C-alpha cells in the first residue's frame, strides 16, 4: 500500500513509478543512447582528418584548434537554437550540436597523441619500408591510442550530459523526462531519469576504459614493470 501511495505522495524515490513507467524509461534511455552514440561516432569521423591536417600543416593547427574551442564556448541552449533554422525541430539539431561540441576534445587529443609518438619509432618504421598510410595505421595510431581513448571517454561522458538539453526540441532522451518532471513537479520522474543519466555516464566511461586496456596491453606491462622496480630496490637494500 505504501508503494502505491508514493505516487500520490509525490515522493522522490518511488518504486511504483519505475514499475508503471518502465516503458517510458526504456524508450527515453534508448533514445539517449542512440543520440549520444551517433553524435560521438560522427564527431570522431570529422575530428580524425582535422587532426591529421593540423599535424601535417602547422599553420593550419592554430585556426583549427581555435575554431573548435570557440564552438565549445557557445552555450548549449544557444547552439541548439542557432541550429533550429537549419534542421528544424528534429534529432539532427541535437546530434549536430553534440558533434560540434565533441570536436574540441577529440581534435586536441588525437593531435596530442600523434605528436607524442617518438620520432625514433617513426624512423624505425620507415627503415622497414612503411609508407605514410601504413606508418599511421600500424605505428602512430596504436602508440597514440591511450591519449585518443582518453579524449573519447571525455567526449562521450560530455555528450551524455549535453543530450539532456535536447529536450528543448523534444529529442533529449532522458532529458525529456527530467524537463517534464520539473514542469509538473513530478519528483520521482526527475530523480529517476537523472539517476539513469548518471549511471549511463559512469557505465560508458568504464566500458571505454575497458576497451582502452584491451587495445593497449603494453601500457599495463609498463606500469607493472615500473611498480616492480621499487620492490626490487627495497629487496636489494634489505639484503645489504
117-127: per-residue pLDDT in tens? 888 888 888 88
Q: What is the CATH number of domain 21-228?
A: 1.10.3720.10
Q: What is the pTM of this model?
A: 0.83
Name the average pLDDT for the chain: 86
239 pLDDT higher than 50? no
CA separation (Å) from 129 to 123, 125, 126, 133, 135? 10, 7, 5, 12, 9
pLDDT band at 44 (very low <50, low <70, confident <90, very high): very high
Question: In this structure, are residues 117 and 140 in contact, taking their beta carbons and an 8 Å threshold?
Answer: yes
pLDDT of residue 123: 85
Per-domain residue ranges of the chain = 21-228
23 pLDDT higher than 50? yes
Q: What percent of the chain has pLDDT over 70?
A: 89
pLDDT of residue 119: 85
- Ordered DSSP codes for 184-205: HT-HHHHHHHHHHHHHHHHHHH
74 pLDDT higher than 80? yes
Amino acid at each position: 500500500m505504501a508503494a502505491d501511495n508514493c505516487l500520490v505522495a509525490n515522493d522522490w524515490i518511488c518504486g511504483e513509478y519505475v514499475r508503471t513507467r518502465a516503458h517510458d524509461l526504456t524508450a527515453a534511455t534508448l533514445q539517449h543512447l542512440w543520440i549520444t552514440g551517433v553524435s560521438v561516432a560522427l564527431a570522431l569521423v570529422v575530428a580524425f582528418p582535422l587532426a591529421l591536417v593540423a599535424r601535417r600543416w602547422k599553420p593550419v593547427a592554430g585556426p583549427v584548434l581555435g575554431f573548435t574551442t570557440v564552438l565549445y564556448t557557445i552555450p548549449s541552449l544557444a547552439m541548439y537554437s542557432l541550429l533550429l533554422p537549419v534542421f528544424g525541430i528534429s534529432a539532427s539539431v541535437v546530434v549536430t550540436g553534440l558533434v560540434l561540441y565533441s570536436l574540441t576534445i577529440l581534435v586536441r587529443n588525437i593531435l596530442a597523441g600523434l605528436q607524442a609518438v617518438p620520432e625514433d619509432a617513426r624512423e624505425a618504421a620507415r627503415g622497414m619500408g612503411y609508407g605514410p598510410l601504413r606508418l599511421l595505421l600500424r605505428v602512430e595510431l596504436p602508440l597514440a591510442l591511450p591519449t585518443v581513448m582518453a579524449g573519447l571517454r571525455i567526449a562521450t561522458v560530455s555528450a551524455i550530459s549535453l543530450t539532456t538539453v535536447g529536450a528543448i526540441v523534444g529529442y533529449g532522451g532522458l532529458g525529456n523526462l527530467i524537463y517534464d518532471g520539473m514542469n509538473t513537479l513530478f519528483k520521482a520522474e526527475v530523480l529517476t531519469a537523472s539517476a539513469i543519466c548518471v549511471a549511463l555516464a559512469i557505465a560508458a566511461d568504464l566500458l571505454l576504459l575497458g576497451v582502452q586496456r584491451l587495445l593497449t596491453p603494453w601500457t599495463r606491462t609498463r606500469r607493472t614493470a615500473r611498480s616492480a622496480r621499487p620492490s626490487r630496490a627495497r629487496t636489494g637494500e634489505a639484503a645489504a
